[in-house]
Amino acid sequence: MLVAHEPPLATVLPDREEALAATEDIHETYERDGLGPAMAKFIAFTSVRGPTPPDFPSHAPNPSDVGLPTEDDGSRDHPLLGPHMVCVTRYEPDFDSLRAASTPIVIAGGAESEGMFPYRAALAVAERLGTEVVIFPSHHGGFHEQGDPDAFAATLRRVLTDAR
């Protein structure tokens, strides 16, 4: 079984172009200004409820407001904000092959993330697969201490058992 937790797929959303522009801007911000400013934009992007605003790239949240560094340390090796940011969001899944797979595919969303980009992407992917999203307790990182790891674990056990 493959469990995909809130896939970052902009390719299946009605605001695809705006989402792709936002992810490209986040990557460009990383290349130009470093981790703090880019991660602050990433957090802001994934926290927007509803469609991605067309002017999102013009927003520049203060990294220190979310506990991130404001100074650029010069490194450019972050696995999310580097080139993967652009490649992954432009990936076009082969939904026909995925639907035909013998292995069950479970798409998950966090209850507190409803309406946010990762949640909306999960809904869109599930719809294209002809399945339902499994709603996990808490938010996108519900398995962390800041979420509800016990309830997350219970839901995961149920999902893994039911999918057999």
Does the pLDDT value for residue 100 go beyond 70? yes
- Any idea which of 9-13, 35-39, 53-57, 93-97 has the lowest mean pLDDT? 9-13
pLDDT of residue 34: 97
| pTM (two decimals) | 0.82
Task: Report the b/e string of 83-115 with b at 16+ CB within 10 A.
Answer: eebeeebeeeeeeeebeeeeeebbbbbbebbee
Does the pLDDT value for residue 58 go beyond 60? yes
Instruction: Categorize the per-residue pLDDT at 5 as very low, low, confident or very high, splitting at 50, 70 and 90.
Output: very low
CA gap 39, 108 in Å, rounded: 23
pLDDT of residue 1: 45
Query: Hey, which of 7-21, 40-54, 87-101 has the most confident mean pLDDT?
Result: 40-54
CA gap 124, 142 in Å, rounded: 21
Structure token digits, residue 13:
């959303």
Does the pLDDT value for residue 6 go beyond 60? no
**All residues at 6 or more sequence positions from 57 whose CB lies less than 8 Å from its CB, including other chains:** 21, 22, 24, 25
Task: Give the tens place of pLDDT for each residue, 62-99.
Answer: 999 999 999 999 999 999 999 888 888 888 889 999 99
Instruction: Categorize the per-residue pLDDT at 145 as very low, low, confident or very high, splitting at 50, 70 and 90.
Output: confident
H-run or E-run covering 65: none
Does the pLDDT value for residue 11 go beyond 90? no
Is residue 24 within 8 A of residue 86, CB to CB? The reply is: yes
pLDDT of residue 48: 93
4 bridge partner residues:
107
